[in-house]
Amino acid sequence: MAKHRIAVIDGDGIGPEVVAEVMRVLEAVAGPAGFEYETTFFPWGCRYYVEHGHTMPADGIEILSRYDAIFLGAVGDPRIAPEEVTGVGPVLAIRFGFDQYANIRPVKPLPGAPYPLARPTPDEIDFTVVREATEGIYVGLGGRFAPDDPQVAEIAAMRKIFGRSKELALQTGVYSEAGCRRVIERAFRLAEERDGKRLVTSATKANAMKHGMALWNDVFADVASKHPDVRSEWNNIDALSMRFVLKPESLDVVVAPNLFGDILTDLSAALLGGLGFAPSANLTDSHFPSMFEPCHGSAPDIAGKGIANPTAALLTLAMMLEHLGEDVAARAVEDGVREVVARGAVRTPDMGGSASTEDMGQAVAEAAVRLVECA
């Protein structure tokens, strides 16, 4: 019997609330689906920061490397720690540390979830965003400089307003040929596996970002030429964001650099009914663990009330189970979530209901167990 070792970082705010329901459903399906698992909780994030001055221990990455997968709730709490230090500290450290370059964010609306568009119908939408997650503007390079700092002399002279500012900040993006290639390649492979429209759309902006996005475009064209069975196209990010609202049914696989993908996937979460419905996986090719986390943050505005929607976290659990090779359990959890949302008897406030996070988790656990048993 397979035994999976799962590291759990439940984090801050609603993180622990939704993770509790993930644990409930995992425990419920494991036996019937015939696998064993072991979880270890790591109390990292803002609460840890308040005590220790950092969001995770120095050997945190090494500790996590011994697990088969990482499940993360959400970290960040601007009320107790400064956002630039703690906001996504461990998340980025783990993505970078384990080379989790492919952030996979499926967009397949659930019937019964709040749906914002007049058209198309929710069942016409089924696409996945593959967001590059280790490069681009999130690498953290740059700094804040006085305009007379010799390091920025040339830049300060570029525009009058730069020279007479009190301060200049540089935020440098890094785009590597190999880094672009592996994520774009993965998007094409996904388009082949999905057997949907077999279309890959590249989110870009080479007209304004003429170094990084030009490299991205060159690599995209090269990878596309090696996959003649998949159609390809590019869209500038501004036009593409409009298309996410006006013609989302025209998409199949979208591949995007880090920042564009981050923003696009909160937009696509709106198509799903809100952040409470948007799952994600951070995949690596290395022997290190991949990480599974809902797209949402710690939602301080609703934390502690027991009303967070655990759907995103539960769909993320389904993605983790699939990754671990537990296809029966994965399908049962995903279908269980879909069944509960479609039935509509248990709805959290973001769905217009008054059910609690726990009510929702319990309903999904029951549905998933039944689905495993008839699989």
In this structure, are residues 271 and 109 in contact, taking their beta carbons and an 8 Å threshold?
A: yes
Provide the angle, in degrees to the nearest 10, between the axes of the packed helices 15-33 and 357-373.
20
Examine residue 262 and tell whether it contacts Mn ion (CB under 5 A). Answer: yes
Candidate residues 19, 107, 130, 308; the one interacting with ligand NAD per rule CB under 6 A:
308
Of residues 320 through 359, those in contact with ligand NAD by CB under 6 A are: 350
According to CB under 6 A, which one of 28, 209, 213, 275 is a site residue for ligand NAD?
275
Closest approach of Cβ 374 to ligand NAD, in Å? 29
Continuous H helices in the chain: 15-33, 46-52, 60-64, 83-86, 89-97, 153-156, 160-163, 177-194, 212-225, 237-246, 258-272, 311-323, 327-343, 357-373
Active site residue 68: no
Rg of the chain in Å (alpha carbons): 21
- Look up 222 and say whether it is catalytic: no
CB closer to ligand NAD, 248 vs 279: 279
Active site (annotated) includes residue 138: yes
Taking CB under 6 A as the rule, does residue 104 contact ligand NAD? no
User: Out of 12, 68, 262, 350, which one is annotated catalytic?
Assistant: 262
CB neighbours of residue 344 within 10 Å: 13
Return d(Cα 321, Cα 26) in angstroms, integer: 9
Q: Which stretch binds ligand NAD (CB under 6 A): 164-172, 173-181, 245-253, 304-312?
A: 304-312
182 lies in the binding site for ligand NAD (CB under 6 A): no
Nearer to ligand NAD, 302 or 372 (CB): 302
Of 298, 294, 273, the C-alpha closest to 282 is: 294
Query: How many other C-beta atoms are found inside a 10 Å radius of the C-beta of residue 181?
Result: 15
* Cα 229 to chain centroid, rounded: 28
Span of 19-27, 47-55, 256-264, 330-338 interacting with Mn ion by CB under 5 A: 256-264
* Candidates 49, 67, 101, 138; catalytic one: 138
Report strand pairing: 168-174 vs 127-132. Answer: unpaired
Catalytic site includes residue 12 = no
The residues of the shown chain that bind ligand NAD, judged by CB under 6 A, are 14, 18, 74-78, 83, 87-88, 91, 274-276, 293, 296-302, 308-309, 312, 350
User: Which residues are designated catalytic?
Assistant: 138, 205, 238, 262, 266
